[in-house]
Structure 1
Amino acid sequence: MLRSGVGKPFRRVTNLTWRSIMITSRTRAFFLAIGILGALTAVCWMVGCNGSSSTNNSGGTVTTSLSDPPVCQNSSGPIGPFTQVWVTVTKVTAHINSNAGPSDSGWVTLLDLSSSPKQIDLFSPVSTTCVLTELGSTSGLPPGDYQQIRLYLLDNTSSSGPSPNNCGTGNGFNCVVNSSGTIELQLSSEAQTGLKIPSGQIAGGKFTITAGQATDLNINFDACSSIVAEGNGQFRLKPVLHAGEVSLNNNTIGGTVVDGTGAGISGATVLLEQPAGVTGITDMVDQVQYATTTDSSGNFFFCPVQGTPGTTTYDVVIAAQAGGATYNPDIVFKVPVGTALGNLAMVSEGAGSSGGTLAGQITSKDATALAADVTLSPLVAATPAGGSEILVTIPWLSTNTTQAAAQPQNFMTQATANVVTPAVACPTGTDCYNYQIVLPASAAQVGTFSGGSANLPPPPASPTLTITYSLLAATSSCTTATPSPAVVNSLVVTPGTTTPVSTALAFTGCT
C-alpha cells in the first residue's frame, strides 16, 4: 500500500495518488564557469579571437528521484490490499510542445536507464522525507518551458532487466504482490510510447528549466485509479498521472494528533481537503485531495503536496477511534503548504464510546436493475474565521462494504441486497446496497490557521455528544438521481445509536 510519510497505509481521492517522481534541476559549477569564461575572454583580448564558444554549463542538470506522495485514500490498496507494487523505469522524457507525438523530434531525455533499468517498490515505507531513492542525473539539458512529460516502463516481455528481479520468474518486471502471491502487472501499449502527462495535468500547464536555476518536478501516480482488476485474477496498469513543480523541503503538511493528556493518537485518519462547487448545493463542499493515518506516536506527514508553499492552502480534517474511545472531529481551515501544525488535540466521547451510525439504502437501475459504484460523503457544516460556511467531508470510522477502503467510501449496488439487521430487500427492478457508516458522534472542534497556529478552541471538559451530518452521494455510472442533488440533510448522530436515513438514494439511467 502507498504510505504517506510516517503514517499507515492509505488509499484517495480522488480523489489516493502512487509514488511520485521528483525531478531536480541544479546548475553545476556555475560560478566556476563564469570564472573560466572570464579568463578565456582575457586571453582572447590579448591574442585576438574570432567566432564564439559554447558550454554545456548553459543548460541544467536534472536529478530524478523517487518520492512518496500522499495521493491515495485511506487504508487498503487499490483492489487490494497489496503489500508491494513493483514497476521498472527505463526513461523519462519531456517536450516543449504539448501536442508532440512519441516519435516526433525535439524530445529531451531527463533520465535514461535503458542500459540499467531501475525497479521500484511503489508501496515501500518511508519516513518524514519526500525523497525515497535517487534514480540518476542528466546534465546539459536545454532551458525551456516543457509542456509534456513521458515516463517509460520496461516491457514485461523484455529479454533482460534488473537483477535480481523482485517480481520473480514468469511475472515480468512490473508486478503486484497480494495475499495470492506475485502477479504480473499488465501494461498498456502506452507504456512503450511513454506514459503521457499532458500540459493539462501539469500544474500551471508547464514546467520550466532555467539555466542557472533549480527546478523540482513531481510526477504523481494516482494508485487508487491506476491499477484495474481484469476480472480474471489479473491486474492492469492504467495510469492516472499528474505533475507540478514542488520543493523537496517546503511542499509538506504535517503535525501530531494528541488526546487530552498530550499523548499521541495512533491510527487517526487525516484528510487534506479543498472546497469546490457541487451542482445544486449552495455551500461549497470540501473535497478530499489526500489522506493518510497517523503513526504510533500520532504523527502524520504529507509530502509532496501540490501547490505553492505559503500560498496554496488545504483544510485539515481529522477523525479517530483508538484505545477504546472515539474522538470528536478536528477541522483546521486554510493550512498553507509548508506548514508544521504541531499538536492537534482531540476530545474523547468517553471510555467505550463507539461513535454513531448512519444506515440507509442506495438503489440503481436503467431500464432494468443495473449495478453502480456510488461514493457516499458524510458532510458537516463549518465556517472558517472570516469566511462562509463550507460542507466539510468527515472521515468515517468503519463501514460495512467489502470494497477497498477509501475516504470517502464507495459502495457497489448488487442484485441481491446485502444482509443487514433488520433485513432490507432491494426494491423491485433495482440493484441495491444497504450501507452502514460509523462516524464520530460529537461536535467538531473548528479552527482557522493564522499566525502560525491552528487556533483550535481549548478542549471542553466534556464534548457535545451530538453532531448533524448531510450525506452526499455521487456516481459516474448513472445520469439521474433522486433526490437531486443526491444529498440527504439533517441527519443527527449520537454516540452508540443508529440513525436511519429514511430517504433512499436512488439512481437511474445507469450504464
Structure 2
Amino acid sequence: MANNRIPYGMLALGCAGALGLAACGGGDGSSAPAQGTLQVSMTDAPACGFDHVYVTVSKIRVNGNPNVDDSGSGWVDIPVTPARRIDLLSLTNGAMATLGKSALPAGDYQQIRLVLQANAGKPYANAVVQTGGGGDEIALTTPSASQSGYKIIRPFTVAPDTLTDLVLDFDACKSIVARGNGGFNLKPVVTAIPIVVSGKVVGYAPAGSRVYAERGGEVVKGTVATSEGAFTLSPIEQSSTTGNVDVVVVPPASAARGVGIIRSVPVVAGASTTVSTATAPIAPPPSAFNTVSGTVTPLSAEASLRALQTTGGAKFEVASTFASMTTGAYGMNLPAAAPVVGTYQTTLPIPLVPDATAAGRYAIEATTSTGAVKSSSVDIGTGPATRDFAF
C-alpha cells in the first residue's frame, strides 16, 4: 500500500446536500427512505517479521459526510457481536473474514471507521507474535482505536434492495511500527474496496515470496506465495484512470533470488488474470542480498521507508519498513542481482529479461507522518549501504 495513510482522496457526494444518510433522488419526503444492505469483510497483505497479528473488531461505522468527526451526526453502526478477534495473517491470498452485515438507508457514503476493542489483559485483544519470538504475544498499542476508530475515506454507494460487499484491505506489514522498547504501535494502512469493481491476479512464484500489485510504483495489493508457490492478489480495484497493474515478485532472502516484474497486467472486475503456472512459475535468477540501513531524525518524523528500483523508466517498490519510534533506526534486506522484467501476454510463460543497469541500485524514499518526502540513491551491488535522513 502507499505511504499515504488515507490512500483515496475525498470525493464530493453524488447528491447535493446528502451529507446525512438519506437516499439520493426525489420523493415527497413522506415515505421512509429506501433500504439497502451493507456487508463488510476484511482481508490482509503480508506482515514483516510476524507469525501472527491479532486485532479485535467491535464495530464498523459509516457516514455520508467525509469530514464529520466520530461524535457528529449521521453515523450508522454495524456492530460486530461478539467482538471478533482476527489473525490478519490468516487472511492472505484472497481469504476474507466477514465482520458484519446490516440494513441501512440507501445512498452515497464517504467515510468508514474501524473500531477495535481495547486491550484488557491476556489474551490481548490486539497483539503480535514475532517470528522467532517463542510464540509469546506482545500487546499491540492502538491509539484511538477503541474510541473514535480508524478513519478511512472511500466513497461507495448502497443501492436500494441490494447487498453491497465492501472489503477492508488491512496492510499489516505497513501498519505495525516498532517502538524500540520491545513494543509495537498500530498505525493502520487500510483501504476499502467494493467487491463489485474488483478483480484478481493469480500465479506462481517461489514459496514465501512477497508478491505485489502496483500502480505507478505504489502497492495496491500484496500477498505471500504459499508453500506450493501459489499466490492470489485480490481484491484489486479495476480502474479506468490508472489502468493495469504491475506484478512484482520479491522472493525471501532464504531463496537467494532476485526480483521478477511483469508489466501491464490487466485487472477485470469479476474476473481472474493468470500470470504464471505451477509448471512455469515466476522464478528470478539467483541473487545475493545486502542491507541498506540508517536513521531518520527527528523521532517525531515517524517515518516510513520504501526501496524503489527503476527499470524501463518506471519505478517499482521492492521493500518497505518503518523507522523505530524510539531510535529512528531502520533496515531493509534487498536483492543485489539485476531484476528480470517482462510484459503481460496471454500466452504463458511470459518471457523475463534481466536489466543489468538496475542491478543493486535503489532509491530509498523516506516519508514522514505529515507527508514530507526525501529520497536518496544507493548501490548495494557489492555490499551493504547506509543512508540517513534528517527532516
Give the alignment's TM-score, normalised by structure 1.
Answer: 0.56
Where 1:239 maps in the other structure, the secondary structure is coil
Aligned position for 1:341:
274
Aligned position for 2:88:
123
Aligned position for 2:67:
99
Contact 1:69/1:302 (8 A) holds in 2: no
Where 1:247 maps in the other structure, the secondary structure is helix
Give the alignment's TM-score, normalised by structure 2.
Answer: 0.71
CA distance in 1, matches of 2:181, 2:325: 21
CA distance in 2, matches of 1:186, 1:61: 33
Aligned position for 2:55:
86
How well do the aligned residues superpose, as a CA RMSD in angstroms?
4.6
Question: Are 1:219 and 2:188 counterparts?
Answer: no
Shift of 1:318: 1.9
Task: Give 1:251's match in structure 2, choosing from 180, 199, 211.
Answer: 199
Contact 1:84/1:177 (8 A) holds in 2: yes
Aligned position for 1:268:
209
| Greater strand content | 2
Question: Are 1:375 and 2:351 counterparts?
Answer: no
User: 1:28-427 alignment to 2 at 5 Å?
Assistant: 58-64=34-40, 66-70=41-45, 72=46, 75-76=48-49, 81-89=50-58, 91-109=59-77, 111-113=78-80, 116-126=81-91, 129-132=94-97, 134-139=98-103, 141-156=104-119, 170=122, 173-178=125-130, 179=133, 181-189=136-144, 191-197=146-152, 201-202=153-154, 206-230=155-179, 233-247=182-196, 250-257=198-205, 265-275=206-216, 286-308=217-239, 312-320=243-251, 326=257, 329-337=260-268, 338-343=271-276, 345=280, 346=282, 349=285, 353=286, 355-356=287-288, 375=305, 377-382=307-312, 389-393=313-317, 395=318, 407-408=319-320
Where 1:192 maps in the other structure, the secondary structure is coil
Relative to structure 1, the CA distance from residue 303 to residue 16 in structure 2 (aligned partners, 3 Å threshold; closer, same or farther) is farther
CA distance in 1, matches of 2:335, 2:115: 42
Residues 84-117 of structure 1, C-alpha deviations (whole Å, 9 max, x = no match)? 413141x2222222233333333223x234xx42
Task: Give 1:439's match in structure 2, choosing from 335, 342, 355.
Answer: 335
CA distance in 1, matches of 2:189, 2:110: 17
Residues 402-452 of structure 1, C-alpha deviations (whole Å, 9 max, x = no match)? xxxxx235677999xxxxxxxxxxxxxxx998x785525246131135xx4
CA distance in 1, matches of 2:341, 2:358: 11
Shift of 1:305: 2.4
Relative to structure 1, the CA distance from residue 454 to residue 217 in structure 2 (aligned partners, 3 Å threshold; closer, same or farther) is farther
Shift of 1:61: 2.2
Residues 248-287 of structure 1, C-alpha deviations (whole Å, 9 max, x = no match)? 9x43221123xxxxxxx32233222211xxxxxxxxxx23
Shift of 1:53: 9.7
Where 1:305 maps in the other structure, the secondary structure is strand
Relative to structure 1, the CA distance from residue 153 to residue 381 in structure 2 (aligned partners, 3 Å threshold; closer, same or farther) is closer
Amino acid at match of 2:257: T
Residues 13-66 of structure 1, C-alpha deviations (whole Å, 9 max, x = no match)? 54799xxxxxxxxxxxxxxxxxxxxxxxxxxxxxxxxxx99688x4112333x3
CA distance in 2, matches of 1:357, 1:84: 27
Amino acid at match of 1:196: K
User: 1:8-27 alignment to 2 at 5 Å?
Assistant: 14=3
Relative to structure 1, the CA distance from residue 308 to residue 343 in structure 2 (aligned partners, 3 Å threshold; closer, same or farther) is same
CA distance in 2, matches of 1:371, 1:138: 40
Shift of 1:300: 0.5
Larger radius of gyration: 1
Shift of 1:303: 2.0
Aligned length: 360
Question: Are 1:468 and 2:359 counterparts?
Answer: yes
Amino acid at match of 2:150: L
Shift of 1:135: 3.7
Relative to structure 1, the CA distance from residue 13 to residue 181 in structure 2 (aligned partners, 3 Å threshold; closer, same or farther) is farther
Which consecutive residues of structure 2, in runs of 5 or more, have no partner in the other structure?
Answer: 7-28
Aligned position for 1:7:
none
Shift of 1:316: 0.5
CA distance in 2, matches of 1:363, 1:229: 14
